Amino acid sequence: MNFNLSPNEIRFLKYFTMPFSSVPRYNVTVSVLENKFLLSEEHVELILKSLIDKGLVENYLLYDNAYTITALGEEALTQLSYDLRSKILWSVVIPIIISTITAYITARLAS
């Protein structure tokens, strides 16, 4: 599934889970996001509205003006992680393997 997220939306979405885990953060307020990302309240609310419209974030039921990540948001983070691993594989690992094979063939032909 293609989510087409902006860099700020990705940063916000990553903040809704605990570092190095997939445990969601609950009760994330607009003021917390303002202080964390040094953005204005209007900008934070605009990004949150976009994430809510995409179904990645929802209002947290116990508190007013608090948000939490949805299952779809967690799926989006998993997809982003997979895309990063795929990019690293195709831009670093595969070229190293190909250059090693090429160097080996060239050395064999030269001798």
Residue 84 phi, psi (nearest 5): -65, -45
Q: Which residue has the tokens 């996001």?
A: 33
Task: Please report the pLDDT score of residue 101 as a whole number.
Answer: 94
Above 70 in pLDDT, residue 20? yes
List the domains of the chain with CATH numbers. 7-110 (1.10.10.10)
pLDDT digits (tens, 9 = 90+) for 80-104: 877 777 888 888 888 999 999 999 9
* Distances from the Cα of 107 to the Cα of 96, 100, 101, 104, 111, angstroms: 16, 11, 10, 5, 6
Task: Please report the pLDDT score of residue 18 as a whole number.
Answer: 83
pLDDT digits (tens, 9 = 90+) for 38-58: 999 999 999 999 999 999 999
**Neighbour-count burial for 11-43, b at 16+ CB within 10 Å, e otherwise:** ebbebbbeeeeeebeeebebeebbeeeebeeee
Task: Please report the pLDDT score of residue 81 as a whole number.
Answer: 77
Q: What is the Cα–Cα distance from 37 to 26, expressed in whole angstroms?
A: 18
Q: What is the Cα–Cα distance from 63 to 38, expressed in whole angstroms?
A: 23
pLDDT band at 1 (very low <50, low <70, confident <90, very high): low
Above 80 in pLDDT, residue 3? no
**pTM for the full model?**
0.69
